[in-house]
A and B are shown apart, each in its own frame.
Chain A
Amino acid sequence: MESVFREETADPRTESVPLSHLSLELGHLYMEDFAAGRTRLRSHFDEVRPWAEAARAAAVRTHGPRARVSTCFLVDDYFTRHSSPSLVLPMLCEEAEAAEVRIDYLARESGCARAGNREPARAVEGRLVESPPPGSDGSRPPASEVGWLSNGQRSPGHHADSAEAMAGTPPAWAPASETGAREHSVFLDVELWSEQKGERLWSCPFLAGVWQLLRLGMLRHDGAAVLRPEEFGGTFPAEWAALPALLRLNRRAQPFAAYRTFSVLPTRFLPVEHAVRVLLGQVHIEAPVREQVERRAKGEGVVLPPELPDRAHYAFALEP
């Protein structure tokens, strides 16, 4: 017997989003990189270029010469805000173009937390369904209460959700373990957010996970697409807050969302993206969205890995 709770599948309201074959991310910079000026940006995109070309070539090999590839760049305006978009972004786009890696879509990281009246991060938090380590009988508080998400069983006594710790008796030490590990564990515990003066501050790995879900076309708000790219009018605003969450810089760009993602990143982002994989594996995507993407992939002969984390690919290749 297959799944029997099918009512959500019959729901006709789910909007479909256009999909490319590949969403290619052209590196990631911190605000200090912008502060370092034009030369730093140029050398960044010079470094990105061979990896971006390799990813594009791989997409062409798989999908043929008409492979749909879109490029994107995420500006970190969430943790630090540097200067002004009208000063920084023209420089960014010019240097990318000079290095022959054109940016099709520009997104700002704050948009993963809040885009207009939508809160993609909150929505993803509400969709986290943790992979239960053996012994989970339903009494464990969910990640949305604890603020941490792991890929297995925590070592006892180190976390607020340990019953023994709350009872006051120090529990016997036991190693943490990864659920479904091959022989040995690589246990990872990810902080999803912290609270600062009652304000929630999302963690970098969590927003990176939301970013991947947006690129994979997996998020909806009451059935509607969460991010719609706005056309670039030729000038950037003076304030970060006035910058659209997702801007299409290239009118002829292929769709922003894609069946798979490829990100060229500095090696120091490896732990962040490990956390992203843990997150993607524990997000419940509503059936109509998932099935829409699968149906369309099948329709054009695209093979999709069933596991969401396996649709995100990387080159950890850039200098820090």
Chain B
Amino acid sequence: MTRPKRDKVSGNKDAGHETVVVCGEVRTALLQTSLPLSQDQCARFLALRPDEPVRVSERPNVYAVSPDLLTGVDCRLPAASGSRVRGVGTVRAHAALTGGRVIQASAHFQYTTSVSGQRLPWSHYLVRPGLVERLGRTTADDLTAGFLAPRATEPGLLDPGSIASRLLDRARGHELLDGQPPLKSRRTRLRWAVRQVPPGAEPSVHFTIVDTERRTLLLLLPGLMDAKAVASVPPFCEELALHDWLLTTLIRVVERRALGSLSGPEVANRLGPAVSHLLHLWLPGARSGRELPELWNGVEQQPGFTRQWQTLVQRIRDQLALQSLPLHDSAPESSRAPTSAPRR
């Protein structure tokens, strides 16, 4: 008779095969200021901790991310089955700016099984940043489904969204912002969960638009998920949230009022800011495409992000091209079409 092999670290007989589950939420919004922040301003804006630098990359566009902040949690976990499972640990959060124009606040954590079955001294959790230990029995499926369910945002349940939201609120009052955004937009929130599936399965992406603001994303990733693989997931989700927000915002710009019913200058006023502030930010997979190319391929097939984006951009270009035709009755001096507007 062989005894089940116990994992030394976790003491749980299943722990060697513990299914990796990572959950998080990303909130995305237009930075409420008239001009995009420069690279230096981005670094100042995101300096949430004086002793840790803001990481800035210049290419393919200016992208800056704040140092991580940790928040301690001890509460019920959203489980689809409704079973009472407690989680204790820390949630990681940071804020990021893309192109000095779009702000994102992201909070996430990874589940792990509690070895002791009880809450331990706080130092135990402080040395495991970003891990939430669950006390109580449940399955990986139950946790991911519960996290993505609408009722998961009830008070008292672990909510990384409130942490992300607070980061956005904190950023809103910054002295670098003049409160005069060039276009109207809405915040979006993407709640995401990643679950490891057995090796051999295809990775899959389930992206759902719940309403005008909320989206959910379930990623099923096969095979080994080591630290590196786990660390590559939040950047993918943030990048996906950014592109979903760009698409959502552009759709709003184009469809808010039928473009055909507007005068020439009105069309230019409406489309100009979107052209100069948003179009160049579309670079799906620029930051996470190398680690997770198959996920980006999945997103491009269904819902076909780039296809939709290109269709919208084409419409905008057509409209602006119409403005530049000499037959049109718009007065050139009143046109505020930006210089970067593409012409044919």
Contact = CB atoms under 8 A, between A and B. Distances in A.
B74 A133 contact: yes
Contacts of A118: 50-51
A219 interface: yes
A282 B122 CA distance: 7
A139 B129 contact: no
A178 interface: no
A136 B76 CA distance: 9
A137 B158 contact: yes
B131 A4 contact: yes
Interface stretch (A19-27, A64-72, A283-291): A283-291
Contact of B157 (A130, A137, A180, A221): A137
A160 B90 CA distance: 23
A307 B227 contact: no
A7 interface: yes
A220 B131 CA distance: 24
Contact of B121 (A127, A135, A136, A307): A307
Contacts of B122: 131, 179-180, 281-282
A138 B231 contact: no
A5 B231 contact: yes
A142 B93 CA distance: 13
A32 B170 CA distance: 41
Interface residues of B, number: 53
B171 to A, nearest CB: 13
Contact of B123 (A132, A134, A307): A307
A214 to B, nearest CB: 13
Contacts of A180: 119, 121-122
Contact of A126 (B49, B88, B162): B49
Interface in B164-223: 166, 170
Contact of A290 (B92, B107, B119, B127): B127
B264 interface: no
B128 interface: yes
A212 to B, nearest CB: 15
A119 B51 CA distance: 8
B74 A134 contact: yes
Given A7-B231, A126-B51, A219-B51, A306 B75 contact: no
Nearest to A282: B122
Contacts of B51: 118, 122-123, 126-127, 219-222, 226
B118 to A, nearest CB: 10
B129 A1 contact: no
Contacts of A127: 49, 51
Contacts of B231: 4-5, 7
A137 B50 contact: no
Contacts of A281: 121-123
A1 B10 contact: yes
- A126, A127, A139, A141: which has the most chain B beta carbons within 10 Å? A139
Interface string B12-40: 00010010100000000000000000000
B71 interface: yes
- A5, A180, A307: which has the most chain B beta carbons within 10 Å? A5
Contacts of A284: 70, 126, 129
Contact of A5 (B15, B50, B72, B130): B130
A137 B72 contact: no
Interface string B85-96: 010101110000
Contacts of B259: none
A229 to B, nearest CB: 19
B332 interface: no
A308 B71 CA distance: 19
Contacts of A141: 166
A61 interface: no
A129 B127 contact: no
Contact of A4 (B110, B160, B161): B110
A80 interface: no
Given A4-B227, A5-B230, A123-B51, A287 B158 contact: no
Contact of A131 (B67, B72, B130, B158): B72
B52 interface: yes
B82 interface: no
B244 interface: no
Contacts of B75: 132, 134-138
B246 interface: no
Contacts of A145: 170
20 contacts: A1-B18, A2-B128, A3-B129, A3-B130, A4-B110, A5-B227, A118-B50, A122-B51, A123-B51, A127-B51, A129-B71, A134-B119, A138-B91, A138-B162, A141-B166, A142-B69, A179-B122, A219-B51, A283-B126, A308-B123
Q: Please name the 5 residue pairs, one residue from A and one from B, whose CB atoms are nearest each other, closest first.
A: A126-B49, A123-B51, A132-B72, A131-B122, A137-B75
Interface of A: 1-7, 118-119, 122-123, 126-127, 129-139, 141-142, 145, 179-180, 219-222, 226, 281-285, 287, 290, 306-308
Given A137-B156, A137-B159, A138-B107, 16 more contacts: A3-B127, A3-B128, A127-B51, A129-B126, A130-B71, A132-B75, A134-B74, A136-B74, A137-B73, A137-B158, A139-B162, A142-B69, A221-B51, A222-B52, A282-B122, A283-B126
